[in-house]
Structure 1
Amino acid sequence: MSMMIPELTDNIIDHLHDNRPALCSCSLVCRSWLPSSRFHLFSTVVLCFIDINTGLPMICSQSSTIAPYVRHLELEDGWNGWRRWLNDALPKLPNFGALKSLALGHIDWAQLTREPRRRDRLIGLSRCLNHLALEYVKFETMDQVLDLFYVAPSLEKVSLASVQCENENVSHTRSKTISLKEITFAGGSLARPLIDWLCLQPMPSVHTLNLAFVRMNQVPSISRYLKILGPKLEHLGLECSGECQDALCKAIDLSHNTSLCTISIDGIVLYDNYSNSPGARIQGWVIDILSQITSRYISMVTLIVLTKTPQEIYSLDLPALSLAFTGVSSVLSERNARLRFHVLGEVNRSIGIRWP
């Protein structure tokens, strides 16, 4: 074993990055294999209300050697009657020197940061982040949100799911710019004021924008932001339902996004008992969106379809979709863009489906 050069063993262990039993075995082979094994074993640490009695003492112990290997940390506080543990535990967390990604869930920001020790600990965790994910987090003000962004100068990716903000106003002192490259919005009242704030940034930097659970009051802000992003935007994801589909389709203009490479449209529901079925109406919205594309770089269109039975797939109007990709004036046809379906549901793949 001593004859193998370290670069070779590191490469072998790297190929086992998602095989935890194999990594555990490698860590026991010899001392020199331990750092490479731990690099993958402890790259992601999740602490939530379920396992705080086991995982938390192990991480916070003075003899623990796990923290230097953690690159992605998830902290989920108690909710729906479960014990809220993060207030007490946050000041005790060790320094995660390699941390690049932080996910926080079910947190009342004002309550969590009211004590200086907890606030300072959060700032310490955030300084070197390039990815921040928030889910079911409640902020009192937009200033709290921006202060969190500002302490992470390397922040490039932000994911926001059901994040609420009570006061949408931004104080005039918050004029510092941030250079985000990828943003995901998935519901919550923070989406609209944050998009409005991003519209005021002097130089658009976002190349990937994902918009899910779009609400009617967000549509004007989204339309304005897509126009501002212009040729900077390369990847776009959309998901909305009901009247928002028509409103969004009429409000946005993708002709400004001349560098768009991929577009993904989610939430195409084909259930027989769903209010928006049959799928023809939904597909009309999809086709209208696709017809706006003028980018010469478009290479992939992804449609995410939800269905329960194979028969419901027949409601997809493939000839209409095909026309969007084969029409004489279609950019999708000119650039040989590919159409990819993600079908979600209990569909028996062994049943052959023939399109009429």
Structure 2
Amino acid sequence: MDTRKRPVLSPELIDLIVDFVHDDRSILLNCSLVSGVLLLSSRFHLFERLHLRHLQWTHFFNLLESPLSTITHIRYMILDFEYNHADLHSIFIRLQGLGLHSILLARMQIENSINLDWDITGFTGLKSLTITRGYFPDPSYMFDIALKFKSVEHLRISHPNFNPALARTSAPDRHLPVTRNSTVPLWRILELHFWAPASAPETFIWLTMQPGLLALQNIAMTGLYSEDFVSAGKYLRYLGPQLNYLEMQLPPTPLEQDSDLSLNNSLQQIHIILPDFVGVMRRIDATSCQALSGYARILSQVISSSLYEVVLSEGPEMQSEVIDMALLPSVVSTLKRRQFSQLRGVVFPPLHWEPDTNAKEYLKTELREWDRRGVLIFEDIRGYFGKWVYGHEPLFT
């Protein structure tokens, strides 16, 4: 065994070595594979996707601002604040020259006293922005930050948390401030993934107060409670005729009877995802869930004449749930009553029905006209959870 002590390279020397060979990325990659210590710096030169934790910021920014820096190829970045306070303006100014296509801002903690009266002019190529697991005084702070990035078309809000003092006040009695940013957003796709109580109504109230969300074409929502569908319905109606695609996951409890989800718009695709029941139940029946009844109820309120695709899919954790066959007729009756003239596809997932009935044959018999036209589609492969909600870009965990 070789007992000789290996030399320890200082971070400064590592940076110098990387700077010396950075012009040839193949040499830099080979050196980094041979000596793992070089990866501390070389990864910033080698990879297009970068997860930058708070403790690594100083090292990264020192390299980025070096006169010899060639860190220009990073396109996708996770900036993890780890609930530390930071000078947002300074950070974004330093990053705006990278040419990022997508950025994820994770675990931010924003105080009431923060100054957001500033602007940034870079990030012209940034099309996708995710804000996840942050703490904010109210939604206006969260969206103020999002609106700093003027070219973003796909905004993803995941697991927001707001000041508990605000959550104790009922939503109708409070007026959340309209954003201080006058930018009209270019959002075409908006994803909203909730988990904290009251976070969804807070967000919908703010969104409904904004006059400039005219470009939004696709919206996806998860983590809604039954009572959240009241504010969700108001927001969806507010969006009006420009909304083309709606994707939402049903709650594990029945929808409130006064939930008005009338979608008087040009909706072309609607994708409903059944709820997950991990650790709660393994059987979805009419008395304990009414998930399919909620699905039928939403469809019954869609009055768009341009609807051409209806998709029902399983939740990501639905691997062995059994669904009461008695719920299926409510879906069938709704589909038969709502004769969408432009419909080209009604998609059903490979679910487990009880009693053991051939649900596919039942649907083909009841909806024989659609079956004849090839409208009915049955997914034989599990795992199709949604276009945006559970799409190709994983959320920060």
Does TM, scored on the shorter chain, surpass 0.5? yes
- CA–CA separation in structure 2 for the residues paired with 1:144 and 1:270: 33
- CA–CA separation in structure 2 for the residues paired with 1:316 and 1:164: 38
User: For the structure 1 residues 355 and 170, does the alpha-carbon distance in structure 2 shift closer, same or farther, using more than 3 Å as the test?
Assistant: same
CA-to-aligned-CA distance 1:276-331 (integer Å, 9 cap, x gap):
8334422121122223233323224132244343xx4464568537725862x333
- Find the residue that maps to 2:187 and give its secondary structure: coil
> Which one of the candidate residues 354, 358, 380 is aligned to 1:355?
358
1:40-55 paired onto structure 2 within 5 Å? 42-48=47-53
Q: Select the structure of larger CA radius of gyration.
A: 2
- Find the residue that maps to 2:111 and give its secondary structure: helix
User: For the structure 1 residues 150 and 157, does the alpha-carbon distance in structure 2 shift closer, same or farther, using more than 3 Å as the test?
Assistant: same
- Find the residue that maps to 1:108 and give its secondary structure: coil
Work out whether residues 326 and 333 of structure 1, in 8 Å CA contact, stay in contact via their aligned partners in 2.
no
- CA–CA separation in structure 1 for the residues paired with 2:122 and 2:201: 27
Which ranges of structure 1 fall in alignment gaps of 5 or more residues? 1-25, 30-37, 348-352
CA-to-aligned-CA distance 1:44-88 (integer Å, 9 cap, x gap):
22223697799787667654423x222221112336xxxx59779
What is residue 290 of structure 1 aligned with on the other side? 299
What is residue 21 of structure 1 aligned with on the other side? none
Aligned-residue sequence identity (percent) comes to 17
How many residues in Structure 1 have an aligned counterpart in Structure 2? 298
Work out whether residues 233 and 262 of structure 2, in 8 Å CA contact, stay in contact via their aligned partners in 1.
no
Which ranges of structure 2 fall in alignment gaps of 5 or more residues? 1-23, 28-42, 167-174, 360-397
- CA–CA separation in structure 2 for the residues paired with 1:50 and 1:279: 49
What is residue 208 of structure 2 aligned with on the other side? 199
- CA–CA separation in structure 1 for the residues paired with 2:56 and 2:129: 22
What is residue 109 of structure 2 aligned with on the other side? 108
Question: TM-score with structure 2 length normalisation?
Answer: 0.59
> Which one of the candidate residues 267, 275, 283 is aligned to 1:277?
283
Shift of 1:230: 2.4
What is residue 70 of structure 2 aligned with on the other side? 65
User: For the structure 1 residues 179 and 221, does the alpha-carbon distance in structure 2 shift closer, same or farther, using more than 3 Å as the test?
Assistant: farther
Shift of 1:209: 1.2
What is residue 338 of structure 2 aligned with on the other side? 330
Shift of 1:181: 1.8
User: For the structure 1 residues 212 and 53, does the alpha-carbon distance in structure 2 shift closer, same or farther, using more than 3 Å as the test?
Assistant: same
The amino acid across from 2:309 in the alignment is: S
RMSD of equivalent CA atoms: 4.3
Shift of 1:239: 1.8
- CA–CA separation in structure 2 for the residues paired with 1:342 and 1:53: 50
CA-to-aligned-CA distance 1:117-164 (integer Å, 9 cap, x gap):
xx98x9577676332211111122444334323322223221111112
1:241-256 paired onto structure 2 within 5 Å? 241-243=251-253, 245-247=254-256, 250-256=258-264
Q: Which has the higher helix share?
A: 1
Work out whether residues 129 and 155 of structure 1, in 8 Å CA contact, stay in contact via their aligned partners in 2.
yes
User: For the structure 1 residues 61 and 269, does the alpha-carbon distance in structure 2 shift closer, same or farther, using more than 3 Å as the test?
Assistant: same
- Find the residue that maps to 1:46 and give its secondary structure: strand
What is residue 32 of structure 1 aligned with on the other side? none
What is residue 76 of structure 1 aligned with on the other side? 80
1:19-168 paired onto structure 2 within 5 Å? 28=26, 42-48=47-53, 63-66=68-71, 68-78=72-82, 90=91, 95-110=96-111, 123=120, 129-166=126-163
What is residue 242 of structure 2 aligned with on the other side? 232
Shift of 1:27: 6.0
